[in-house]
Structure 1
């Protein structure tokens, strides 16, 4: 279609060259709007509505699954190194007991939905775990992905192409 329009525009000469270039540049937009109107008519089809609904439902399920995974593995932002959570224990549905390290001191605190209470200063500090659960998950995920990538590279090297 553009080829025909281009030939017609060449035959008009230079007096309408600006109009011709504008038409050439804007014609794909008009074609796209015609295709979009055809797609709008297909939305009245019940199967497309069900497909859209299922796609939306799938996205919502993925979001909730990711939120559950983040909560399960306790993925939180780490501080700048001055304040660290050494240990954590769930005490109820919305209550936790935490051991935090501030500088060189460790403190036992209770956290509820509405309060944070200082329970005690620990005289004998707890040993910090070698890696937090978020870091160990990150390391395990990195190793798993590296293994898959490495196995994919090895399998493509072994394959011969004729």
Structure 2
């Protein structure tokens, strides 16, 4: 009985031992082909990213545009008010998820105060950290 159970296992073992394994030359060829294919795909991704960046820079905004965004105010998650300068006119626009609506053309242009992006305290501390400011820090 034991021989009947073990006979198929012995035959399977002999069949596996009789089949030749893959040659190392074939494996090297496959590995080279895999590496070259992967390099081609990665190179294509970087090339397309470079091309996309170059196209966006050419089509991007320029400093001397006829249309300028002067101010923006959020009204909700998807609603905004925009104050836009078009030539000599200022237009108040309502912006929603699916629509831009002109709300009012201003007869008198709104004069916006000049905004300073960095506070003097922040600028001083940044210069201190960079070691560029040679003046002693102010006492508080």
Q: TM-score, normalised by structure 1?
A: 0.37
Structure number with the higher helix fraction is: 1
Q: Which has the larger radius of gyration?
A: 2
Q: TM-score, normalised by structure 2?
A: 0.42
